[in-house]
Each structure stands twice: as structure tokens, then as C-alpha cells.
Amino acid sequence: MRRQDLLEEIIQHTAAGEYTRTNRDLSNLVPRNGFNDLHSPDSIPVTAVGLIRPPSAPRAPFAEGEMAWRLIRQLGFNYLSLTDLDHREGGQGLRNMLRLFVASDDAAQLRQIDSLIGSKVKPVTRRLPGSGPIIYGRGVQCQLTVDETGFSGISPYLFGMVLEQFLTRHVSVNSFTETELHSIQRGRVHRWPVRMGTRSTV
């Protein structure tokens, strides 16, 4: 390998980071050519700094009109039973809940939510996790069914992981959830282990 090629290989770096900006529309002023998007006020030994992916476009808050009232009503979910989620056929209650967290113009995420075609909750008895003595307890098993055609060729596994964490946060610390994700194309995709609830009993 030539010395010049070796130096170029050493100098080229990629930095990854997650940032939350609260300065409204200023992110639209950042150049987006992927080569010299950022500039340093000081002299640094680099030719250019480019963004692999530009900042996302700002979105207006949802706190307006009917959406604001739906968000306020969602706060009461912390005091409801998980069985209230599937009181409508096909998990409509859970789909309505998830739509509160997605922008109305995000077609991909709305399509994934609409792909949740089933939601069932039933009481189960399982061994509780822990390194101490063997203890059994009562909890809820949440069976979620999705249609993978709405995921554009990607696995619904990540979608299931998010829902598993979401459901756990709405179960009291004295109970647990056991979430299963099913697909109408492949059957059971995954069963997550028993996870103790995190909601306070007070």
C-alpha cells in the first residue's frame, strides 16, 4: 500500500451521534450536499465535514384541535387495565393509542400501525424472574398479531420490541407481562420472557 493511500485510510473517519434540536426551523439552514455541510471556526486537519444524513425537517406540535384532546385522554391510560386495549375487534383500541405518537403525514409508520390486526390479553401464571427462591405469580399474556405486508419487506420484530416495552410500563410492579408477536404469514415471530411491570401501585 502506498504511503498516500495509507494516510487517506487513517484520516477518513465517520462520527455518529443523536441530537435533539429545539431551535425551530434553523436546521433547515444547514447545507445538505453531503460534502462540506459543517465548518469549524478553528483550523483542523480535515478537508471537509459532510453529513451522511441531513437533519430531519421540523414538525409542528400536536397540541392543537382534536389531537390535543386525544393526547390529554391518553394520560388516563395509566390507570386502566390492559384488558381495555382489546375491547374492540382486531386491537382497534391499541392502534388508536399508537397513532397518537406518529405524525399524520408519516405514511410508513401509519402503515405499520394499521398492520397490527389483532390484540388479545389473558391472565397467566408463570415463574417470576429472579435469582432467589422459585416464586410463581399472576400476570397477563399479550398476544399481538401483525400483517407483514405493511412492513415493506422488513421484519416486524423491532415493532414488537417497542410494544413489549410499552405494555410493560402499564402493568403494576406486582404483576408482569409476557408478550408474543405473531404474523399471519409466519406464525409466531417471537415470545419475550416474563417482564415485571414498572407502574407504581400508588
CA distances from 81 to 37, 55, 99, 143 (A): 50, 39, 19, 15
- 27 pLDDT above the threshold of 60: yes
Residues 6+ apart with CB under 8 A from 188: 180, 181, 182
- Would the pTM count as exceeding 0.75? no
pLDDT value for 99? 85
Between 143 and 31, name the one with better pLDDT. Answer: 143
Closest CA to 112 of 128, 94, 124: 94
Strand partners, 127: 136
User: In whole numbers, what is the pLDDT of the chain averaged over residues?
Assistant: 77
pLDDT value for 192? 93
pLDDT value for 87? 46
Q: Which of 57-71, 107-121, 185-199 has the lowest mean pLDDT?
A: 57-71
pLDDT value for 79? 45
pLDDT value for 164? 92
Strand partners, 119: 144
- 123 pLDDT above the threshold of 80: yes
- 180 pLDDT above the threshold of 90: yes
